[in-house]
Chains A and B, each alone.
Chain A
Amino acid sequence: MGNNVAVVTFPGSNCDHDTVWALQELGAEVVMVRHDARELPRCDRVVLPGGFSYGDYLRAGALAAHAPIMDAVGRAVARDAVSVLGICNGFQILCERGILPGTLWSNTSGEFLCRWEWVEVATSPPGWPAFVPGMRFRLPIAHAQGAFRVHEGGAAQIWAEGGAFLRYVDPVRNAATGYSPNGSVQGIAGICRGRVIGLMPHPERAMSPVFGSEDGRRFLHLWLGGPS
């Protein structure tokens, strides 16, 4: 798989340029795509970046899920033609679209939360053996609605299907399970289904120790198919 990446800009996306920059730092060929495009450009991968698409009015990601470009993304996913990464608002959009299971609710604090967290690979996503279970990343979160929720029994199903990709961990207290900064069920920070991955933390903000961590660089490098 090549590294032509399409980054989608919805009105209200605000991490699109950060994401483009991060991917270019890693050598990807990046093209920016508008929300109202009816087709994806020729690409191997799609990133739905963070932000407040359409103001996050109604619910976070709910309106963007019905943007024209999401029809194209949905078709490409159905054909297994692209890998998709949804970051923060992008994750919310994928859930609202039904491409990923579950939904993202308001943080239990009721407030926006911006801080550093540790996440751990719980299950390798299919196609990414380089994300080894137990591998940890220190990444920032910045969201008001990041509590991952599923219907009763849904979490067990996600685990059974191998979709429980990332969970929050607290290395200081060494609590491997159950920790969550925002109220996510079973501490889930990111999930996958097929070649579609969604996560709440922002790897594009952790590209260098200058910004507090370069674990995001490592994360995106692996997502782009780089060796571990």
Chain B
Amino acid sequence: MTAADVGLTRAEAMTVRALVGREPTDLEWGLFGVLWSEHCSYKSSRNRLRWLPKDGAAVVAGPGGNAGVVRLDAAVEVAFKVESHNHPSFVEPVQGAATGVGGIIRDVVAMGARPVALMDSLRFGPQAAALREGVVRGIGGYGNAIGVPTVGGEVFYGPGYAKNPLVNVLCVGIRRPGREIGARGAKPGEEVYLIGQPTGRDGIHGASLLASRDFSQADRDMRPTVQVGDPYTGKLLMEATLAAVAAGGVSAVQDLGAAGLASATAELAVSSGVGIALDLDRVPCREAQMSAYEIMLSETQERMLLVLAADGGEDALDAIRAWGLVPTKIGVTTADGQYVLTFRGQRVAVLEASWLVDGCPLKPAPSPRVAPPLPARTTGSVRVSIASQELLAMLADPDLRDRQPIYRRYDSMIQTRTVWGPEHEVAVLCLKESTLGLAIAVAGPGRWAAVDAYSGGAAAVALAVSRLAVQAAEPLGLTDGLNAGNPDQPETLAAFDQMILGIRDAALALEVPVTGGNVSFHNETDAVSIWPTPVIGAVGRHPRPERPWADAVTRVGRWIVLINAPQKPTLAGSVWEQRTGQLTAYPRVDLERLARTVHWLRQALLTDALGIEAVRTVADGGLWLALIKLLGLDGPGNLGIAVTLSAEALAEQLLNEAAGQFVLSIDDRGWPEVSAQLTARAIDHRVLGQTVAEDGLTVRVGSGSGASHWHWPRTELAAAWRLWEDK
């Protein structure tokens, strides 16, 4: 075996030899190969991720663990993280997506938290129906069966995703304070147990080869490196792990995901500052005659590593057995930091655990860490006119149309916490353990980052936090799923840097820490890369989850108000631009103004006297789609919205997607005070119109002799938005 066989570069192989001081064995090469892969080592991104703010008042556990943890209140802590399963989902959509769901659920369980919600962020190329159907079936098949509700998500399309679909999954779990667990608590002299599926020959080198290099035509050959998910065992494993943690005597938990036992044991040892000695003959295997190499690198799903105190772990073991799983002791922790594997009586690997986890040479981070200059605009001055039929056609655009055909295939209600599910832009969960609730949102269209990754990164954070703000929810933390092409391409890495800087600047301005996340590089096939795609998940503290603020109008005679409309609206980065031409650079968000706005909005919603009836963000599809959703397509026939827009730059007014905008309906008695407060805070606001007794949406354009007038009944809007033909 050579270093290249396990995916190491020549320079990395030299570093390995220097560390080890001898020629490593084949098994040791294999361990370095997977643990130094991009997927496990984060060698291209680790120095850059340090730029992100990680501290906040609510943070219990920041980045580096299986998941970040924030405090909701004295009774509830929230563990959450986003993870990608992009490459496997292209090779085998159903199983790739299913095991992505299973993997992130195990991450949250490994923090001692019960998973209570999932969201998915999916990206596909055009004409990707078959692939999308497979991914949706995989997500539903796993999530529905394991009993964790899918409460929302997003689906977008773009040419770069044709051979590199993205499947990013966010999982949120809750635990009681005092149930802290994770990979950091193991002490020397404790016992290492493996529970779950017997180890098979599936998924060997999934992390190092499949997820850590670009695709080419030949990659259907990689199908054997995709694992198969079993949600039934996943459910037993989840319950057994949580029961074991509750029983006591568990020092540390680490799930087995990418790079299997190799990664889980090495990371647990380094996180806890202990050594580890494993007897591989004890590992239960699905097939006979598995080699040590196969046992260590297998990515068989539904396995968990637990470290139990040498005496006193009996209750935990009983709890595991009660779920029908057989805990197997496979080794011990030691005081010397050594990573020692024994197989058939021979010591087959003797390394320092830290070499595997921290020894990989990292790409240095560049020093200029300021926002890059705005890219040149190329189409900003094109004159655009738009007709009613084009607006209706846009509603059926793959990026904008109704997602219900997807979401109805996910169980969104199980666990009886879902107050608002996938039909809303933000999920609202009430908890039996607290009067406070959770608001959960995910955001990050790659379209916005396609040309100016800084702008897209900042806007993804801006939109996620804005979505919490419409529920008066205070953001507790963010998780970032960063997807990009080949990091060895300088332009790709530069755009990746800018994406992180955009996320950093927005997180700082909006005062939200980033508590963990995921990086997926090599989303590149035949030299075609995806757009840099930041998927931001946000978790917020909802003040009154049993009574969410409405996101659609309910009464006639309310003012329709737009907040933070851009002074010079542009279609840059919008769905309209994607439909009609070349994408240009999405506008930069005014982060300071947005920070003022979300602070104000959270306070204002809690003040009943201000009379805010309904509120939502303006995002994909611009004001046009926001007004339609504010109207509510299932609303009563004697209620509609009528607005007036100026004739100048009409398309830009209706279809710009600049982040930080909100539409509200406000009653007459509260409006003067709302207006005064917004003026005092230098937050732009304008009355667009009001709710009326006529069904549907009316847009009057201009005034005087040149005025025109559009009207769409709800049925016409619903037909365009809901009844799309799949391609």
Contacts and interface: CB of A to CB of B under 8 A. Distances in A.
Interface in B230-258: 230-233, 235-236
A207 interface: yes
Interface stretch (A10-18, A97-105, A128-136): A10-18
B409 A12 contact: no
Interface string A204-228: 1101101110000000000000000
Contact of B323 (A11, A21, A54, A140): A11
B236 A112 contact: no
B493 interface: no
Contacts of A14: 145-147, 235, 414
A119 B418 CA distance: 22
A93 to B, nearest CB: 15
Contacts of B235: 11-12, 14, 52
Interface in A43-85: 51-52, 54-57
A142 B418 contact: no
A202 B413 contact: yes
A18 B145 contact: no
Q: How large is the interface on B (under 10, 10 to 19, 20 to 34, 35 or more residues)?
A: 20 to 34
Interface string B426-461: 000010100000000000000000000000000000
Contacts of B141: 112
Given A14-B414, A113-B409, A210 B430 contact: yes
B432 A112 contact: no
Contact of B324 (A11, A15, A202): A11
A173 interface: no
A112 B410 contact: yes
A51 B415 CA distance: 11
A204 B417 CA distance: 12
B416 interface: yes
Nearest to A109: B409
A180 to B, nearest CB: 16
Consensus secondary structure, chain A interface: mixed
B323 A55 contact: no
A18 B408 contact: no
A51 B236 CA distance: 13
Given A111-B409, A112-B140, A142-B411, A11 B232 contact: yes
A140 B418 CA distance: 12
A205 to B, nearest CB: 5
A142 B144 contact: yes
Contacts of A42: none
Contacts of A207: 416
B413 A114 contact: yes
A115 interface: yes
A55 B230 contact: yes
B326 interface: no
A15 B232 contact: no
Contact of A210 (B233, B236, B546): B546
A112 B416 contact: no
B421 to A, nearest CB: 9
Contacts of A55: 145, 230-233
Contacts of B415: 17-18
Contacts of B414: 14-15, 18, 142, 205
B419 A210 contact: yes
B37 interface: no
Contacts of A15: 147, 414
Interface in B269-304: none
Contacts of B137: 111
A219 B413 CA distance: 18
B231 A52 contact: yes
Contacts of B231: 52, 55
B671 to A, nearest CB: 29
Contacts of A11: 232, 235-236, 323-324
Interface in B300-330: 323-324
B145 A52 contact: yes
A197 B339 CA distance: 58
The residue among B236, B407, B409 with the most chain A CB atoms within 10 A of its own CB is B409
Contacts of A22: 416
B410 to A, nearest CB: 6
B582 to A, nearest CB: 37
A156 B545 CA distance: 47
B66 interface: no
A66 to B, nearest CB: 16
A64 to B, nearest CB: 12
A208 B547 CA distance: 12
Interface string B533-553: 000000000000011000000
Interface in B388-416: 407-416
B24 to A, nearest CB: 41
Contacts of A210: 419, 430, 546-547
B232 A18 contact: no
Contacts of A51: 147
B327 to A, nearest CB: 16
Contact of A205 (B145, B416, B432): B416
B119 to A, nearest CB: 15
A53 to B, nearest CB: 9
Given A12-B235, A52-B145, A52-B232, A205 B408 contact: no
A113 B414 CA distance: 13
A15 B145 CA distance: 11
A114 B411 contact: yes
Contacts of A113: 408-409
A14 B140 CA distance: 15
Contacts of B430: 210
Contact of A112 (B409, B419, B547): B409
Contacts of B144: 52, 112, 114, 142, 144
Nearest to A144: B144
Interface string A1-24: 000000000011011011001100
A114 B412 contact: yes
B571 to A, nearest CB: 36
Contacts of A21: 416, 432
16 contacts: A11-B235, A11-B236, A11-B324, A18-B415, A22-B416, A52-B144, A52-B231, A54-B232, A56-B145, A114-B409, A114-B413, A115-B408, A204-B416, A205-B416, A211-B418, A211-B419
Interface of A: 11-12, 14-15, 17-18, 21-22, 51-52, 54-57, 111-115, 140, 142, 144, 202, 204-205, 207-208, 210-212
Given A114-B409, A205-B414, 20 more contacts: A12-B145, A12-B236, A14-B147, A14-B414, A15-B414, A51-B147, A52-B144, A52-B145, A52-B147, A52-B232, A55-B230, A111-B137, A112-B140, A112-B144, A114-B407, A114-B410, A114-B412, A142-B144, A144-B144, A207-B416
